[in-house]
Structure 1
Amino acid sequence: MEQLEFFNLQSPCRGICQTDSRGYCLGCMRSRDERFNWMNLSPAQQKEVLRLCRQRLLRKLRAKRAAELAKQPKGDNPQGDLF
């Protein structure tokens, strides 16, 4: 049974509208199909898309952070290795 929604979910579009190499929007992290069909999705489906977008963004941020940490030289720690 689907929960009733009293308010429509607002589109997560940020107006950037460019895609990355995987086909996800750089602004909202939705796929092409998710962007084009947003108004046709039920509120439950829209919530699922938003959940997926958050996961995609977190995955992207973690990968970026890992890449930045990998680039840092290991000898620049003034305190030395404590562990």
Structure 2
Amino acid sequence: MQQLEIFHIDSPCIGICQSGPRGYCLGCYRSREERLHWINLDDHVKSKIVKACALRKKRAFARKRSAETVIYEDPVQGDLLD
């Protein structure tokens, strides 16, 4: 049995409508199909998509952080008083 949604689920679109390298929108992290059919989906499916988008966003930021993290290895530094 589906749980009834009390509130209407609005589109997660934030107006940055560009596809990223994995095919998801860089603004809301929905796939092309999810964006295309959003208006026809019931609230139960919309809720699942919003949760999936949050997970996609979290993973994208984690990938970005790990790519930006540069491990700096300090060369062996001699004593300043030698």
TM range (shorter): 0.7 to 0.9
Structure 2 residues without counterparts, runs of 5 or longer: 75-82
Report the aligned-residue RMSD.
1.1
| Counterpart for residue 14 of structure 2 | 14
The amino acid of 2:42's aligned partner reads S
CA deviation after TM superposition for structure 1 residue 38, in Å? 0.7
The structure with the greater share of residues assigned to helix is 1
Structure 2 distance, partners of 1:17, 1:38, is: 14
| Counterpart for residue 37 of structure 1 | 37
CA deviation after TM superposition for structure 1 residue 21, in Å? 1.3
Structure 2 distance, partners of 1:5, 1:22, is: 30
State the TM-score, normalized to the length of structure 1. 0.82
Q: Show CA shifts across 1:24-79 (max 9, x none).
A: 1000000000001111111110011011101111111111111111x24133xxxx
Structure 1 distance, partners of 2:60, 2:73, is: 24
User: Structure 1 runs of 4+ off > 4 angstroms?
Assistant: none
Say yes or no: does 1:58 pair with 2:55: no
Larger Rg over CA atoms: 2
State the TM-score, normalized to the length of structure 2. 0.83
Aligned ranges 1:60-79 → 2 under 5 Å = 60-69=60-69, 71-75=70-74
CA deviation after TM superposition for structure 1 residue 3, in Å? 1.2
